Chain A
Amino acid sequence: MNASTERKLWMYEKMIEIREYEETMVRVYMEGKLPPHIQKGLAFDIGSGPVPGEMHLAAGQEPVAVGVCAHLTDNDTVVGAHRSHHFAIAKGVPLKPMTAEMFGKETGLGKGKGGHMHLFDAAHKFSCSGIVGASMPPACGAALAAKKRGKDWVAVAFFGEGATNQGAFHESLNLAALWQLPVLFVCEDNKYAISVEKTESTSVEWNADRASAYGMPGVLVKENDAVAVYEAAGEAIARARRGGGPTLLEVKTDRYLGHFQGDPEVYRTKGETTTLRANDPIPRIAEQLRAAGELTDAVEQQIRQRVSARVAEAYEYGRASPYPKPEDALLHVFN
Chain B
Amino acid sequence: MKTRKLTMAQAIAEAIGQEIERDDNVFVLGEDVGKYGGIFGATGGLLAKHGKDRIMDTPISETAFIGTAIGAAAEGMRPIAELMFVDFFGVCMDMIYNHMAKNTYMAGGNIQLPMVLMSAIGGGYNDAAQHSQCLYATFAHMPGMKVVVPSNAYDAKGLMTQAIRDNNPVVFLFHKGIMGLPWMSYFEGSTNEVPEESYAIPFGQAKCVREGSDVTIVTLSQMVQKSILAAEKLAAEGIAAEIIDLRTIVPLDRESVLKSVRKTGRLLVVDEDYLSFGLSGEIAALVGEHLDTVQLKAPIRRLAVPDVPIPFSRPLEQFVIPQVDTIAAAARQIVGARQIEGALA
Contact = CB atoms under 8 A, between A and B. Distances in A.
A334 to B, nearest CB: 5
A131 B188 CA distance: 45
B95 A127 contact: no
A120 B68 contact: no
Interface string A138-153: 1111111110100000
Contacts of A333: 104-105, 143-144
Chain A interface bracket (under 10, 10 to 19, 20 to 34, 35 or more): 35 or more
Contact of A109 (B71, B108, B144): B108
Given A142-B74, A145-B76, A174-B64, A134 B109 contact: no
B79 to A, nearest CB: 8
B162 interface: no
Interface in B144-166: 144, 146
Interface in B51-94: 53, 58-59, 61, 63-77, 79, 91, 94
A144 B53 contact: no
Interface string B14-52: 000000000000010000000000000000000000000
B108 A335 contact: no
Contact of A335 (B75, B143, B167): B167
A129 B107 CA distance: 11
A118 to B, nearest CB: 4
Nearest to B54: A148
Interface in B90-125: 91, 94-95, 98-99, 103-113
Contacts of A334: 104, 144, 146, 168
Interface in A171-207: 171-172, 174-175, 178
A127 B220 CA distance: 37
A130 B99 CA distance: 10
Given A77-B75, A142-B74, A148-B77, A134 B67 contact: yes
B64 A134 contact: no
Contacts of B105: 113, 332-333
B58 A332 contact: no
Given A129-B98, A142-B71, A175-B58, A168 B63 contact: yes
A79 interface: yes
A331 B144 CA distance: 11
Given A113-B106, A145-B77, A137 B63 contact: yes
B20 to A, nearest CB: 12
A55 interface: no
Contacts of A140: 64, 67-68, 71
Nearest to B62: A171
A58 to B, nearest CB: 20
Contacts of B61: 167, 171, 174-175
B30 to A, nearest CB: 12
Contacts of A142: 71-72, 74-75
Nearest to B76: A145
Contact of B107 (A113, A136, A172): A113
B95 to A, nearest CB: 6
A141 B72 contact: yes
Interface in B165-201: 167-168
A145 B106 contact: no
B71 A79 contact: yes
A96 interface: no
A145 B76 CA distance: 8
Contacts of A113: 105-108
A110 interface: yes
A114 interface: yes
Among B73, B75, B76, the most chain A Cβ lie within 10 Å of the Cβ of B75
Contacts of A168: 63-64, 67, 94
Nearest to B95: A137
Contacts of A108: 108
Among B61, B63, B71, the most chain A Cβ lie within 10 Å of the Cβ of B71
Contacts of B63: 137, 167-168, 171-172
Contacts of A90: none
A51 to B, nearest CB: 17
A248 interface: no
Nearest to B64: A171
Contacts of B144: 333-334
B59 A127 contact: no
Contacts of A144: 68, 71-72
Given A114-B108, A172-B67, 10 more contacts: A109-B107, A137-B63, A137-B68, A140-B68, A141-B72, A145-B77, A171-B61, A171-B63, A178-B59, A334-B144
Interface of A: 77, 79, 108-114, 118, 120-122, 125, 127, 129-131, 134, 136-146, 148, 155, 167-168, 171-172, 174-175, 178, 331-335
11 contacts: A77-B74, A77-B75, A109-B108, A110-B110, A111-B108, A113-B105, A137-B70, A148-B77, A175-B61, A333-B104, A335-B167
